[in-house]
Amino acid sequence: MGISGEAIAPRNNLSEAIFFKGDQSGLDSPNLFVCQAEVPKSTAENVARFGLPDAGWTLFGAVAHPKNRGRLRLMGSNPSDPIMIDANTLSDPDDLKAAIAPCKGGHFADWEQPKLFAEEIRVAFRSLR
């Protein structure tokens, strides 16, 4: 079976693989969540410079058990008044460190199979080190 350069039509929810992984020893449970998506993603600057392919895949990572806490604030006494959401995302230094770590390549590049894939990831993330 060869690799085709043609994109296939969406046939599912576009995310068929997830995994949890710890970025440090001594944890009771994995602290990172990664989801694979069958869509190409990029920044507006990179799309303007290089374009965006019709097909591709992306790994999205997140902190599975964040330490930071956000707040919901009532904006008035009426139940239909809007609320203000202060997500406080990545405000805890440990959460920020955990969120950045996979982008440096160490967590994905240590996969053994297939070796070519691991090397491609090392090359892709080399500039982030």
Boundaries of every domain in the chain: 17-128
- Those residues whose C-beta lies under 8 Å from the C-beta of residue 53, and which sit 6 or more positions away, are 7, 40
Q: Does 113 score more than 80 pLDDT?
A: no
Identify how many contiguous H helices and E strands the chain contains and give both numbers.
3, 5
Q: For 56-73, what is the mean pLDDT? A: 87
Comparison of pLDDT for 57 and 120, the residue scoring more = 57
Q: What is the pTM of this model?
A: 0.56
Number of residues that make up the chain: 129
